[in-house]
Structure 1
């Protein structure tokens, strides 16, 4: 009986938090179209997010291309289908593996950073001081960060995909004596707009989810240093779960749309 009550209580808290997050998103869409527009802060956040994540995304993409090709090559070799390697790797990375893996990497870097930063500002009462001084902290802190994450994540994913394909081409060049020119010719022959467009569109939603959850957890952080850690940790957990939900919906819709 006690366990049942505890489970029901957890479900209640979960749905309450979903409602608060929805209201937070509604407030974002209201504030984003109202004046004043914080362009300087937006550009600063875009630069910080992209600059600090570039190396991590590049290394992740390169290793992703290497490992995926090394693991797939023996299986294709058994069926005499090694020539299909560039097509299979490029379609897999561009459609699904690249956007999801890189979004998860950026979740750990960007969403947790936003949660910790805003959580620290809430704990040290900097957000309260902004409200008292007449500044809109939601506009300055939240809107700029969500927009920056939404705009920068697609660029990071494209960069990671390119590096991943280069890593795959390097393996094929060393193990299969395939030139880089031939490899990328096969890649561009295999990739279609029906592969690129859905992946690009859902990457914007990935960025929005990363910024939204990170800002939500940090902006409403509980008092104390423990609350900052919880905000950072829960931002990563909630965002990761939300990314998989968005990915499922995006794949489902794109399959219906392009099948028609």
Structure 2
């Protein structure tokens, strides 16, 4: 107890990611061998203001979540999420997408595209409170809190699939680790492309602007159709990826 979230008067308890849940994807294994199994971050899934909002979300097959990541060092590595990919939209070669918004603190988002056995692109965004980050189709992603403050972030995502953790877990994490001295490559990947540092942006086509609470799109959910039908927005995603 003690980690409840008050979302518009609705008190919610989290799913908790523990340190030992992350053992396959951490860099500092010597530190891990001595560490106790502490709580790392808190996931509050399927949040809604009222039943009317919930019905809209179900009608559009979407879910709104909040994740809270307190500051912590995992040995030499900054605290992070486990990292995952999304499954493909049926009948397409594109995965479901996702959008994040930083509510409090600062976040480092690492996105990586895997084609076959190779990672062909790695992008990193440094986002502040209010900023939104769209995860394009076919990109895996992790979130890192490389600060001394608690990170609180929200996401919109399709509600009817399970995230795919296996590929990142099998390769001991993402293509890069963020340590106190900066990013280093994960040797389990072999050759990886250099990181492309990207600037945060607004996404007017999707109704997403920095500083505007993206939960309010519950009243204009057609703007979020890119999350479940990425095949209809290929030109927008090409612009987002920037290559």
What is the TM-score with the length of structure 2 in the denominator?
0.25
Larger RCO: 1 or 2 (CA < 8 Å, sep 6+): 1
The structure whose residues are more often helix, as a share, is 1
**Which one has a bigger Cα radius of gyration?**
1
What is the TM-score with the length of structure 1 in the denominator?
0.24
